[in-house]
Amino acid sequence: MSQASPLTPLQAYAPDFAHRFGLIMAALAALVAARFPRHPRLAALAIPLWGRITRAARRFERLMARIAAGKPARPARPHRSGGGGPHRPDGIPRGRFWLLRALGYELAGLASQLEALLAEAAAKAALAEVPGVGRIVRPFVRMLAIGASQPRPARPAPEPKPKAKEPPEFIPPGKFLFRSHGYSWYELPTPPLQPG
């Protein structure tokens, strides 16, 4: 009789990770459903964004269930071109932090919860080991401005520019006479006569 192999740390963490991510996404979907219809600019985005959030939560749950069962993650589907504009075909903006700007403080709690979840060592390991996790999570990291408050790495100090060479000092050839049309006229000394 063969013994079952012990669970890897990622397999053990996967159900809890899926559950907590799902709770955050459910709260985000509820906030979008409650607030977007009240804003004329955002009302048209309520249904597409709500659908996107709930689909992402379901995909994440399925992926974590496969990992917990010890099955390999499915290979990524080929990327479908959705155009290079600032919006997706469903009208959802692509820009960074747009959702945080739209909902402001109402979203801050959910953003901090997701940031704390993704900061856990096991979550970082999942993001590193399973590419599908990052593909699901990254759009929400951008929308919720996660990591925006973290200081950016210091840029190296620029190298000092070499000093410009000073032009040589001008020594007039003789006594200044007058200036006319951008020219200066000087009295030149008479050269000595050459003996003949």
Domain boundaries, the chain: 9-73+89-143
Q: According to the model, what pLDDT value does residue 102 have?
A: 79
This model's pTM is above 0.75:
no
pLDDT tens by residue, 174-183: 777 777 777 7
Alpha carbon separation from 138 to 3, 4, 11, 46, 144 (Å, rounded): 38, 34, 21, 20, 10
Q: According to the model, what pLDDT value does residue 82 have?
A: 46
pLDDT tens by residue, 54-70: 999 999 999 999 888 88
In this structure, the number of other CB atoms found within 10 A of the CB of residue 143 comes to 26
* Whether the Cβ atoms of residue 124 and residue 130 lie closer than 8 Å to each other: no
